[in-house]
Amino acid sequence: MTIHSLRRLPVPSSILLVLFIVSITLTMGSSQFRALAATNQTSTLAVGDLRVDYLVNPLGIDDTKPRLSWKLTSSAQNQSQQAYEVQSASSATLLNANTPDLWDSGKILSSASINLAYAGTTLYSREHIYWRVQVWDASGNPSTWSATAQWEMGLLSSTDWSAHWISNPGSSALPLFAKQFTLTKTVKSARLYITGLGIYDARINGQAISMDVLRPPETDYIKRVIYSTYNVTSLLQQGANTLGVQLGSGIANVPATPGRYEKFIGTMSTPRLLAQLEVIYSDNTTARIISDSSWRTKLGPTTFSTWYGGEDYDARLNPTGWLNPGANLSSWQAATVTTAPSSQTVLSAQMVPAVQIVGTIHPIKITQPKTGVYIFDFGINFTGGEQLQIKGAIGTRITMKPGELLKSDGVLSVRPPSVRHSTKPISSLAVGPRYGIQIFFFTGFVMYKLRAYQLLPQRAR
């Protein structure tokens, strides 16, 4: 039997080097492999709900270093942000091209996602900013970029205002204001900067400028008044237009109201309006419509209004078609140019969510405990106001009082002087059913008592 001996063949040095490198790499462990591979994977984290000072795509803010926030979602468990990048630009096109001209934070190693201060170029009045966010997860995987969000700056300096405060001459009652104007070209964009004391309701060509109600937010009007910015591009037309505003008292002017709910009595301001409409035409030329003595005014159908005491409305005093372009306002007075509530008053942009109507609730039961008295039961305690569609003789008075409980005889339990009520006389049968909604006060209630009274004499004004 032959026995062969085995010899160790020599291995080239280049092969030994490769084997050595492979061996060393294998000893690095799986965590390093994940890190090396992460750059080729997309995170399951998704960035959304981008906010600027807690607001979604705000229009007309005056914070020049706003705080930015976002939320994270993921289809996987145990995910977290380990880094982020914020980009902002003057156009969505620049942002999508990954060439932000206002700010690029670069990759920041941080798990923070709330109240991160904007640190880009200095912001100026009316500037429009587009921004987006990308994050990295614990494994170093980047998310996709968030959807683009935006915000717009308001009027940052008193010199940006050309408008004047205006009022109804010689009266502290509740006025209407109207400005008729002509736009000579196609409108590209338009912003309305507006405030009114104590509460305003503004419309362009008869259409509400937004879903917001009970504006402006409450402040100490002697020190500060809040203005709001609205995109009204779609409400304007080439040719004739009308901007119309009604004013209520709010808490700016709270006189004594015997027989009604009185929480306090005092006056910080009589009714006054400030409005500035800025229009950019399709050829990038501009037009500006401001509140001044060229506006027309008269006392309106809201004859009484306080924040707590309710509202009286005489529909016979509502001028027909006054919100429409071309309406005859020749009998109206010229508005009076006035001042802010005090020399201390400053204007600030609205930086809180607006109050809005969020739904409609219909009564679940209607009863008639007495002749001419109806109880509307909505079945839930909520805060709001009534909408009423009625028929009747001109001058009939309808009184509605809110409450929460019924007496044993089925009549609404109201404990004076805590009642808050509104009165809505019918204006005309000739135009069919009348529709009304209180716009200058609100209340909490479950039920409303409606009572129809005798005809009222026509008011002299």
User: Each residue of 12-21: pLDDT tens digit?
Assistant: 444 333 333 3
How far is the C-alpha of 68 from the C-alpha of 98, rounded, in Å?
19
- Tell whether 118 and 196 lie within a shared domain: no
What's the CA gap between 296 and 273, in Å, rounded? 12
Q: Domain boundary at 153, 169, 195, which?
A: 153
- Whether the CB-CB separation of 46 and 72 falls below 8 Å is answered with yes
Instruction: Say if residue 386 is in the same domain as residue 344.
Output: no
Q: Are residues 166 and 274 in the same domain?
A: yes
Q: Which value, to the nearest 10 degrees, does the dihedral of the CA atoms of residues 75, 81, 87, 88 take? A: 80
State whether 374 and 334 are in the same domain: no
Tens digits of residue pLDDT in 207-224: 999 999 999 999 999 999
Give me the pLDDT at residue 449, please: 63
CA 67 – CA 208 distance, rounded (Å): 31
> 149-153 and 59-61 as β-strands: parallel, antiparallel, unpaired?
parallel
pLDDT < 50: residue spans in the chain? 1-9, 11-38, 417-421, 427-435, 454-461
Distance CA 241, CA 183 (A): 8
> Where does a domain end: 153, 185, 205?
153
Same domain for 335 and 201? yes
Range of the domain at 375: 365-455
**How many separate domains does the chain show?**
3
On whether residue 30 sits in a domain, the answer given is no
Q: What is the pLDDT of residue 451?
A: 63
- Do 386 and 440 lie in one domain? The reply is yes
Residues 282 and 377 occupy one common structural domain: no
- Per-residue pLDDT at 430: 35
- Tell whether 227 and 331 lie within a shared domain: yes
Q: Is the peptide bond before 198 cis (omega within 30 degrees of 0)?
A: yes
The verdict on 264 and 223 lying in the same domain is yes
